[in-house]
Structure 1
Amino acid sequence: MQTYQETLDFLYQQLPMFSRVGASAIKKDLDNTLALLEISGHPQHKFKSIHVAGTNGKGSTSHMLAAIFQQAGYKTGLYTSPHLLDFRERIRINGQMVSEDFVISFTEKMKPHIAAIQPSFFELTVAMAFQHFAEEQVDIAIIEVGLGGRLDSTNVITPELSLITNISYDHKNLLGDTLTQIAGEKAGIIKPGVPVIISERQEETKEVFMVKAAETGSPIRFADEEWIGAANGTNITNTHLELTLLHIRQQQTHHYKLDLNGQYQEKNVMGVLSAVHQLIADGWKITEEDITAALSHVKKLTGLRGRWEVVNQHPLTVLDVGHNEAGITEIVQQLRHVTYTSLHIVTGFVKDKEVEKVLPLFPKTAKYYFCKAQIPRALDEISLAEMAAPHGLQGQAYPSVQHALQAAKQHAQPDDMILVCGSFFIVSEAM
C-alpha cells in the first residue's frame, strides 16, 4: 500500500498541475472530468450543492456559506482550491479534512485509468471530492470553481443555487481580455431554472449575467441591490470586522461580527446573505441566529486561512492571498484602516499574472522584500524588483519567501507592520 506522501508525490509529479506549470494543465472541455466521474458511478448527482464562481472572494464566500450550513445542523461538504499547507484542505466535511486513507484509496482506484484518460491534477481532485461527498452522504456541498466557470471541472453539477462574486482581470490568457469576456466564462455556471446571485453589480458585466439568466430561465438577484452598508456601520480591528447592513426592501437592519477582518468581506457577506435568504425561501432551515453565529466563527468552523490573517501583533504581521488587480486594490484600501510606523511588504508573483497592472497599486512608501515561491511558474525575484523600480517601489530581492520574511522581521520595529501577499504560494511558504 502506498503511503500518503507517496500518493501526493504521484499526484504532483504525474498529473499536470496548473499551479505549477500554468495554462498547459488546463483542458478545454469537461470530457476528462466526466470520464473520471463515470468510473466512480456519477457521484456528482448524489448530493445537493451550491456552486461559487468569481475572480475574488469566492473562497471566503464558500467558507462563509459552509459555516452557515454547518451551524444550522447540516452535514456540509466544502471543496476549495488551492490549498495552503495540506492538500486535504481542499476537501472538507463540517470543517474536517478528508482522511489520508481516502486520498490514497481513491488515487489507487484511479491509477489504472489515468494513462487512458490523462487527467489534470485538478480534474482528479474534483472527482475525488465528489466521490467523498457522495459516500459520506452530505446534506449539501459548497463547491468553489477553480478557474473561470464554463469549462471548469466543477461545472458538472446542477446546484441548488449559483453564486458569482466579483469579476476582475485574472488569467486573461485563458478567460479573455475584457471583463465582458471573463464574465461570460463565469456565467457558464448558471444552470437552467437554478437561481443565481451576483454579489457585486458591475456596469461592464451586469448585462452578461442578465442575458445568460434570461436564456436559462434562472431567477437572478444582485446582492448589492438588496443590501446596503449602514453609515458608520463598519468597525475594523485586527481580529474582526463588525458590519451593520440594511436590507433595503424589508428596511431591516442586521448586525454581524465576523472573525474575518478585511473590509473587502462586506461585499462577500452581502452575496452570502442574499444566497441564504434565497435558500431559506426554497425550504432550507436556517435561522438568523445560525447566520450570526456562523459568521462570527468561520475560521473555527471551516478552517479558512490567509484572508487578512494576523499572525503576530508586534510587529503587526498580516498574511493575505490577494494577488490580482482587484485583490491588491482591496488590500491597499484595508491598509488605510491600520496604524503603523513603517510598512514592510514581502511579495512575489507567478509569471502569468498581470504584474504590470498590479505594481502601480502598491504604496510607494513601503520597504519591499521581493521574493520567489518555490514553484516553476514563479516570477524570478530579480525580474520582479526590476519591474517594480519604475513604479517607485524600493527594496531588495531574496531567493525565497523565508529569506525575505526573515529580513523583514529583522528590519521591522515593534510598531511597524509586515504584510505578506502576492500569491497563494507566497503566503503558503510564509506559513
Structure 2
Amino acid sequence: MNFQETLNYMYERLPMYQRVGNTAFKKDLGNIQILCERLGNPQEAFQSVHIAGTNGKGSSSHMLAAILQSAGYTTGLYTSPHLRSFTERVKVDGQEIEEEFVIHFIEELRDIIEEIQPSFFEITVALAFAYFQSKKVEVAVIEVGLGGRFDSTNIIQPLACLITNISFDHVDMLGDTLEKIAFEKAGIIKPGVPVVVSQRQAGVDQVFQQKSEEVNAALSFASDALQVVPSEKGKITVVHKEQPNREFMPSLLGKHQHLNICGVLQMIEVLNTQGRLKIPEGAVKTGIESSQQLTGIKGRWQQLGEAPYIFCDIGHNEEGLATVVEQISRYPYDQLHIVLGMVKDKEVGKLLQLLPQKARYYFCKPQVPRGLDAGILYEKALHIGLRGELAKSVAEAINKAKAAASPRDFIFIGGSTFVVAEVEGL
C-alpha cells in the first residue's frame, strides 16, 4: 500500500471518533495494552509528560514540547486530531512522522488489527509510541485524546501530569456535569506522580484533590502561584508569588493562553524540582516565544489576513466559543463576518446563543460524516436571530465572506475543528 491507501484502510477499517462519533470510543484499555505488548511496550522506552483537559491541552502540549526541545532534549509530541495531514499527530523535534513509517507500521500490524479490531485512536497511539522509541526520544509530551481515565494514552507512566481547563464537551461520553467530566480527566493522575492543574474552578477542585490524596500524588494549582499581566504590543509579565517577574512575548496569541502559560510554567518548575530533567530559563523563554515555529501548531487564534482581519480558531464548545467572542471584541472593525460550521453531536442551540447577533454569517458543513448540515445550522441560527446565508462548502463560505468584507471589517472562521481544517493555506 502507498500512504493514501494506508490512510484509506485506517479510516475505513478502524472506527474514528472524529468521523463517526462516540461509537469509536472504547471504555477500556485492553486493545492498547495488547498492541503495545505486541510492540515490546515502546512507551517504556522514553520519559513522558501527560496532558489532559477540555480546552487548552493542545496549546499547552505544544508549548511544553517547544520548551523541552529548546532545552536540548529529543522531544516527541503526540496530539489529536490533525487539521490538514495525519502526520501532524506525531512529531519529533517539530518534524512530522514520515509517511513510510506509517505504511510499514500498519502493514506489520495488519494481522492483529484484523484480529482485535482496535479503534483509529488506539492504533495511532501505538504508532506514536513505536515511532518515539525508533527515534530514541528522550521525553515525549502526550496529549490525551478524550477524557483521560479510559483514553488510550493512559498506559504511560509519566514524570508529571498537567490538567488544563474543565468545561462542557463530549457530555454524552464524559458526563453531564463539570464534576463528572473532571473525574474522567482526573483518571490520568497516578500514584506518586505529581499533577499540576492550570486553574482553580469552583466545583471541580475537590475532584482533583480527592483523586490526588487517594493515590498520594502531589497536587498544585498553577493559578495559586502564577498570574499573567498583559503589557504593550503582545508582551506579558508573569508574576510569581515567590520568584522575580518574567516577561515573554508568546507566539500563541489570545488572552485564553495566559492560563495555559501558567500551567506550563508550573509544570517546568515541577520537572526541574524532580531533577530528572534540567530545563534552563532560556529554554522556557524560547519555547513560549517560538512554540508556533518550533512545533507547527495551527488553528489556535491564528491570524490569516489583515485589512480585513481574518482569524480562525478551533474552539468548538461553550467555553471555547465564548473565548473566541471575547477575543474578537478586542479588535476594531466596521462589520463582523463569521464563517460557521458545526458537528451533529454538539448542543448547537446553546453554542449559537454565545455568538453576536450583529455579525453576518456564512453557514457551511465541514466535510466529515459528523458534519451538521448547513441548512439545519442556518434554521437553528435564524430561530435565535442570527442572520446570514448558506454556502455549499467551507471554501465557498470563506470566499463569500471575503467578497463581502471591506478592508475595515473582521472575518472569523470556526465553530468546529473540521471547519478550520478546510482553510486553504493553513
Shorter-chain TM-score bucket reads over 0.9
Q: Deviations over 1:142-199 (max 9, x none)?
A: 0000000000010000100000000000000000000000000000000100000000
Partner SS state of residue 142, structure 1: strand
Match of 1:341 among 325, 329, 334: 334
Q: SS state of the match for residue 384, structure 1?
A: helix
State the Cα distance separating 1:364 from its structure 2 match.
1.1
The residue matched to 1:203 in structure 2 has which SS?
A: coil
Please state whether the residue corresponding to 2:204 is helix, strand or coil. helix
What is the distance in 1 between the residues matched to 2:389 and 2:123? 40
Tell me if structure 2 keeps the 8 A contact 1:52–1:142: yes
Cα distance, 1:204 vs. partner? 1.2
Query: What whole-Å deviation, never above 9, does each CA across 1:283-342 have from its counterpart, x for those lacking one?
Result: 121111111111111111001010111111121111110110010011111112111111
Separation in structure 2 between the aligned mates of residue 209 and residue 357 of structure 1, nearest angstrom: 28
Question: How many Å separate the matches in 2 of 1:119 and 1:304?
Answer: 28
Instruction: State how far apart, in whole Å, the 1-side matches of 2:329 and 2:246 are.
Output: 25
Mapped contact 2:228–2:262 kept (Cα < 8 A)? no
Q: CA deviation at 1:354?
A: 2.1
Tell me by how many angstroms 1:256 deviates. Answer: 0.8
Match of 2:293 in 1: 300
For 2:227 and 2:96, how far apart are their aligned partners in 1? 35
Cα distance in 1 for partners of 2:191, 2:232 equals 40
2:274 to 258, 262, 282: 282
* Unaligned ranges ≥5, structure 1: none
Task: Supply the distance in 1 between the matched residues of 2:115 and 2:181 (Cα, whole angstroms).
Answer: 32
Name the SS of the counterpart of 1:141 in structure 2: strand
Q: Give, in whole Å, the separation in 1 of the partners of 2:347 and 2:273.
A: 41
The amino acid across from 2:145 in the alignment is G
Give the deviation of 1:391 after TM superposition.
Answer: 2.4
1:225 maps to which residue?
224
C-alpha separation in 1, matches of 2:354 and 2:232? 24
Q: Give the equivalent residue in structure 2 for 1:212.
A: 211
Q: C-alpha distance in 1, partners of 2:380/2:15?
A: 29
Q: Report the TM-score, using the length of structure 2 for normalisation.
A: 0.98
TM-score by length of 1: 0.97
Extract unaligned runs of 5+ from structure 2.
none
- Structure 1 counterpart of 2:152, one-letter code: S
What does residue 351 of structure 2 align with? 358
Is residue 316–residue 415 contact of structure 2 (8 Å, CA) maintained in 1? yes
Paired residue type of 2:31: N
Query: Would you say the 8 A contact 2:32–2:122 is kept in 1?
Result: yes
Residue identity opposite 1:282 in structure 2 = Q
Instruction: For residue 353 of structure 1, report the CA deviation from its aligned partner.
Output: 1.3
In the TM superposition, residue 365 of structure 1 has moved relative to its aligned partner by: 1.0
Q: Within 2, Cα distance between the matches of 1:166 and 1:356? A: 23
Consecutive aligned runs of 4 or more in structure 1 exceeding 6 Å deviation: none
335-344 or 201-210: which moved more?
A: 335-344
Residues in 2 aligned to 1:245 and 1:337: alpha-carbon distance in whole angstroms? 21
User: What CA RMSD, in Å, does the superposition of the two structures yield over aligned residues?
Assistant: 1.0
- The residue matched to 2:199 in structure 1 has which SS? coil
**Match status 1:379 vs 2:378:** no
The residue that corresponds to 1:248 in the other structure is 241
Q: CA deviation at 1:116?
A: 1.0
1:235: how far off? 4.1
Q: Which amino acid aligns with 2:266?
A: S
* 1:93 maps to 2:86: no
- CA contact under 8 A between 1:48 and 1:139: conserved in structure 2? yes
Q: Is the 8 A contact 1:52 1:162 kept in 2?
A: yes
- Superposed counterparts of 1:327-338, under 5 Å: 327-338=320-331
Measured after TM superposition, the shift of residue 262 of structure 1 is 1.2
Shift of 1:66: 0.2
Partner Cα distance (1:157, 1:311) in 2: 37
Q: Residue by residue, what CA displacement relative to the aligned partner does 1:22-65 show, whole Å, maximum 9, x if unpaired?
A: 01011110101111111111111111100000000000000000
Aligned to 1:59: 58
Q: Identity of paired residues, percent?
A: 49
Aligned to 1:417: 410
**Where do residues 22-421 of structure 1 align in structure 2 (5 Å cutoff)?**
22-230=21-229, 233-235=230-232, 241-250=234-243, 252-283=244-275, 284-421=277-414
Q: CA deviation at 1:209?
A: 0.2
Q: Deviations over 1:342-394 (max 9, x none)?
A: 11000111111122221111111110011101111111111111111232211
Q: Partner letter of residue 216 of structure 1?
A: V
For 2:203, what is the secondary structure of its paired residue?
helix
- Give the residue type in structure 1 aligned to 2:91: R
State how many pairs are aligned.
423
What amino acid does structure 1 have at the position aligned with 2:178? L
Answer whether contact 1:170 1:354 (CA < 8 A) is retained: no
